[in-house]
Amino acid sequence: MRAYRLIRPALVALVAALWGAAPGMAADECLRCHEDLGGMIPSLFKRDVHYAHGVTCAGCHGGDPTTNDMAKAMDTSAGFIGIPKGDAISTTCARCHSDTMRMKAFGSSLPLRQWEDLQASVHGKLSGVGAGSAIQCVTCHNAHGILRVQTPASPVSPLNLVKKCASCHSNAAFMRTFNPSLPVDQLDKYRTSVHGALNAKGDSKAAQCVSCHGSHAILRATDAKSRVNPVNLPATCATCHSNAVYMKAYGIPTDQFEKYANSVHGVALLQRHDEAAPACNDCHGNHGAAPPGVTSIANVCGTCHTLNAELFAGSPHKKVFDEQKLPECETCHGNHEVPTAEISMLGVSAETVCSTCHSESDNVRGFAAARTMRSLLDSLIAMEETARNLVDEAEQKGMEIGDAKFSLRNIRQARLETRTLLHAFSESRYRPVVEKGIVQAASVRSEAEEAIHEFYFRRIGLGASTLVITIIAICLWLLIRRIEKKGTLSDAARDG
């Protein structure tokens, strides 16, 4: 490191000599001339990060910055290219920003693949034929007066970035030329979000566009490598929300991702890659991200679990939950750590969800209903298991049991209906569905038992038939032997 500090001035001087830069801004006649001409460009450039590092106008535009002779300064033989157009703008930037040695000479730690990433991004691909990329480096960073991202006045600083992105993404006419189906209200939604409200108050740590989408390598949400692809999105959110140090000032938990990853939703999305399973934005929103309010949780869950939400809305729990300001679905199922709904949730034993509010001395009607409903469900499950075992036994014995095996589906369907109908919290509505399944199970069990009985009846009949046939065969054989013996004796007597 010490050696680098010693040779750095020499490296800067070398880059300056090779790339139209003049250490200390000596002999930049281009800038002096343009200052005399007036306009905003010279003053903007003097604020530029490149100017601060000794890069002259010729660094981007080419030419000879050491002469005040306009013809010589703008001679193409001196490398003058004028104002770059289209992708030539970004390739001009990339001549330094993709060159390890040049960037190192300036003491830069910036990544070196910005142009390559931009070309591969959705912005690089959404261009007309032969028109170059949809955006260039200067679209976001400006052409003159380029500032560090950390500088508050930079158009790509955290507090200004959303406006910069919105300059295109909120322009309906402009966006229609690239993707007519893409919404143009992202900024409005963002301003309603927790992130947007913090950003508007000057909190540069709050998430903004690049926090989720990335900067140069922005990809479509449908791209498997996109940071906002449904399978990748929880990890993107966790970049901030699982960082205890980063989130300390906000006073919210940082274990959401860990809980979500082990939930029924997380397992489906992250392990089975089922993109129909909800990610963070399905419940919280994306650009308008915010925690669902107490009264809106059922609406949020109900976007997928429609029938459950409708049943709950007509249940006796709805009024009580509203009065006590309890979050509806979350009260029983949790939020990020939603477990698989099991039978163990229903009933009155200590480990059930119902027992949290209901007991023999408190909310006794609900206690009695929960106990009865669990008893009915236990009966259905036991009957289904018995019927299934008998069908399997009959099938293994080679009996035709296809109708009974098909009827097992009806029992399973009745059991699945009880999982949904449970949200009505009504024994009178619950009982008929369970009893329908129990009747079906009894019918299947009876059919399977008859098949098994017939199997044994056939075996006994076959055994008895085999025995009778064997006895008859032996008797015939003895009779034939006897007849043959008599014939032999008769022949002998006749011959004697």
Which residues on neighbouring strands pair with residue 21, listed in sequence order?
A: 55
Residue 388, domain member (yes or no) = yes
What share of the chain in percent tops pLDDT 70?
92
Query: What distance in Å separates the CA atoms of residue 356 and residue 43, rounded to the nearest whole number?
Result: 69
Contacts of 325 (CB under 8 A, 6+ apart): 294
Predicted structure pTM score: 0.80
Amino acid at 98: S
238: which 2 tokens? 């966790």
Query: How many domains are contained in the chain?
Result: 3
Residue 139, domain member (yes or no) = yes
Crossing angle (nearest 10°) for helices 316-323 and 306-313: 80
Same domain, 89 and 228: no
111: which 2 tokens? 């990544």
Among 235, 251, 267, the domain-final residue is 251
Among 195, 229, 251, the domain-final residue is 251
366: which 2 tokens? 């609900």
Q: Return the pLDDT at 130.
A: 56
Residue 17, domain member (yes or no) = yes
Same domain, 127 and 152: no
pLDDT tens, residue by residue, 119-162: 999 998 876 555 678 899 999 999 999 999 999 999 999 999 99
Same domain, 115 and 226: no
Q: How many CB atoms lie within 10 A of CB 152?
A: 11
Same domain, 102 and 172: no
**Residues 262, 256: contact at Cβ < 8 Å?**
no
Please tell me which residue, 194 or 16, carries the higher pLDDT value: 194
For range 273-302, the mean pLDDT: 91
Residue 320, domain member (yes or no) = no
Query: What distance in Å separates the CA atoms of residue 373 and residue 430, rounded to the nearest whole number?
Result: 7
Same domain, 122 and 152: no
Eight-state DSSP code of residue 431: H
Same domain, 217 and 123: no
Same domain, 28 and 84: yes
From the list 175, 195, 194, the residue with the least C-alpha distance to 185 is 175
**Cα–Cα distances in angstroms (integers) from residue 159 to residues 54, 109, 199, 200, 210, in the given order:** 28, 22, 6, 7, 12
Same domain, 214 and 244: yes
pLDDT over 70 (residue 489): no
Binned at pLDDT 50, 70 and 90, residue 480 comes out as confident
Query: What distance in Å separates the CA atoms of residue 179 and residue 173, rounded to the nearest whole number?
Result: 10
Q: Return the pLDDT at 298.
A: 87
Range of the domain at 227: 148-251
Same domain, 53 and 176: no
Residue 178, domain member (yes or no) = yes
3-state secondary structure of 154: coil
Query: What distance in Å separates the CA atoms of residue 48 and residue 143, rounded to the nearest whole number?
Result: 9
Residue 495, domain member (yes or no) = no
Same domain, 193 and 137: no
Look at the block and give the residue holding tokens 């039978």.
343
Among 146, 165, 194, the domain-final residue is 146
Same domain, 52 and 28: yes
Residue 195, domain member (yes or no) = yes
pLDDT tens, residue by residue, 358-410: 999 988 999 999 999 999 999 999 999 999 999 999 999 999 999 999 999 99
Query: What distance in Å separates the CA atoms of residue 160 and residue 15, rounded to the nearest whole number?
Result: 32
pLDDT over 60 (residue 462): yes
Same domain, 395 and 455: yes
Task: Return phi, psi of residue 176, to 5°.
Answer: -65, -25
Contacts of 495 (CB under 8 A, 6+ apart): none
Q: Return the pLDDT at 127.
A: 65
Q: Return the pLDDT at 407.
A: 92
3-state secondary structure of 21: strand
pLDDT tens, residue by residue, 307-338: 999 999 999 999 999 999 999 999 999 999 99
